[in-house]
Structure 1
């Protein structure tokens, strides 16, 4: 079981990882070794709570397909094991971010002193600008 948060665990059986060849520079090692990892995580079939599933599916993440499968590709590391760890860490971060409930903002009014300070700074700025004008009367 993979720990996500308090009381939330992820079953590793629902994660599908396949090794593929990496793209980009790297020479002969990239061309002959399948060190990149392609991770597929079906959100609906997982054992995550409803809140996590709902937030993941309703989010605007381009890595989630229309079928509800989260697809990650890890190819930054040199070895397959390191790329597996990287892909799992990224998956855990995405799931944890989906579990965060945003704080509701309550509108507040500015205090009298802050309003007074703002108006004073505006008048000071205006007088400074007036003093930069043309000089008359010589």
Structure 2
């Protein structure tokens, strides 16, 4: 994991942009928000990990395979830089975790008959809502 994070941080490009929010006049003068850009294809992730990463990234990943993380929570560049790198590390860590297998639930005979009976009752209610014919 540490190796992957080191590779990712080596490939990251950072840019500082003007942030909104608290900071008074300082927010208008200093570019404190950090925007991290990472080419995910350059990381050479395994296909399963890549698909999980892509799903976790969501709209933060561009069509070209570039992850864009913007951190503007804090008032200083350094705090925002640390926050962005921490979020990147969490994203990579989460993508590497295997999803837990779902255990199939077992239904006993009584539960099955009750479920089918309730479906029949519900179906009868819905049939009663149909068109009324006067034939």
* Fold-level similarity (TM above 0.5): yes
Query: Residue 99 of structure 2 aligns with which residue?
Result: 102
Larger RCO: 1 or 2 (CA < 8 Å, sep 6+): 2
Instruction: Tell me the TM-score normalised to structure 1 length.
Output: 0.67
Specify which structure has the higher proportion of helix: 2
Assess if the C-alpha contact under 8 Å between 1:10 and 1:48 holds in 2: no
Q: Distance in 2 between matches of 1:60 and 1:75?
A: 18
CA RMSD of aligned residues (A): 2.6
2:39–2:66 contact (8 Å) kept in structure 1: yes
Which secondary structure state, in structure 2, belongs to the residue aligned with residue 108 of structure 1?
A: coil
Tell me by how many angstroms 1:78 deviates. Answer: 1.3
Higher fraction of strand:
1
Q: Deviations over 1:29-74 (max 9, x none)?
A: 1000111101111100125444432322355611111111111111
User: 2:77 corresponds to which residue?
Assistant: 80
Are 2:29 and 1:32 aligned? Answer: yes
Say how many residue pairs are matched: 111
Q: Structure 1 unaligned segments of length 5 or more: list them.
A: 116-138
Segments of structure 2 that go 5 or more residues without pairing to the other structure are: 112-135
Verify the 8 A CA contact 1:34 1:80 in the aligned structure 2.
yes
| Residue in structure 1 matched with residue 50 of structure 2 by the alignment | 53
Larger CA Rg, structure 1 vs 2:
1
TM-score (norm 2): 0.69
What residue in structure 2 maps to residue 18 of structure 1? 15
Structure 1 distance, partners of 2:24, 2:36, is: 24
Contact 1:10 1:47 survives alignment (8 Å): no
